[in-house]
Amino acid sequence: DTAVSQTPKYLVTQMGNDKSIKCEQNLGHDTMYWYKQDSKKFLKIMFSYNNKELIINETVPNRFSPKSPDKAHLNLHINSLELGDSAVYFCASSQDSWPYNSPLHFGNGTRLTVT
């Protein structure tokens, strides 16, 4: 069974479109994240939710809006897509046993290509 699953795996779309990426985890974790990996392979955190509550909101454009219907799901909606949004987006989850940095479990990523 896949612990953290994201869909779709590939997403090709045109500039200006709106798209969503879905993420689900079956690990019973309390915290979920969205990370963006650019062409240079830097992994940057975008958002983090703990029990459906937004706890981290990095400096990302307002066009990106995360939604967590329950603690097992964290979806990412992107409005008015731009060329610079092309990247691989990773969903992750962790047990978040504060104050320790509990290990992250990642999905296999969604490769977004904006043309």
Q: Which of 79, 69, 82 is nearest to 14 (CA)?
A: 82
By CB under 8 A, residue 55 contacts another protein? yes
Q: Which of 111, 110, 115 is nearest to 82 (CA)?
A: 115
By CB under 8 A, residue 12 contacts another protein? no
Give min distance, CB of 80 to another protein, in A: 26
Strand partners, 57: 47
Give min distance, CB of 4 to another protein, in A: 7
Tokens of 67: 């939604």
Q: Which is nearer to another protein, 14 or 41 (CB)?
A: 41
Alpha helices in the chain (DSSP H): none
Tokens of 28: 């019973």
By CB under 8 A, residue 28 contacts another protein? no
> Which residue in 40, 70, 83, 84 binds another protein (CB under 8 A)?
40
By CB under 8 A, residue 22 contacts another protein? no
CA distances from residue 104 to 33, 77, 81, 101 in whole angstroms, order as listed = 9, 22, 28, 9
By CB under 8 A, residue 69 contacts another protein? no
Residues found near another protein in the complex (CB under 8 A): 4, 33, 35, 40-45, 48, 50, 55-58, 90, 92, 98-101, 103-109
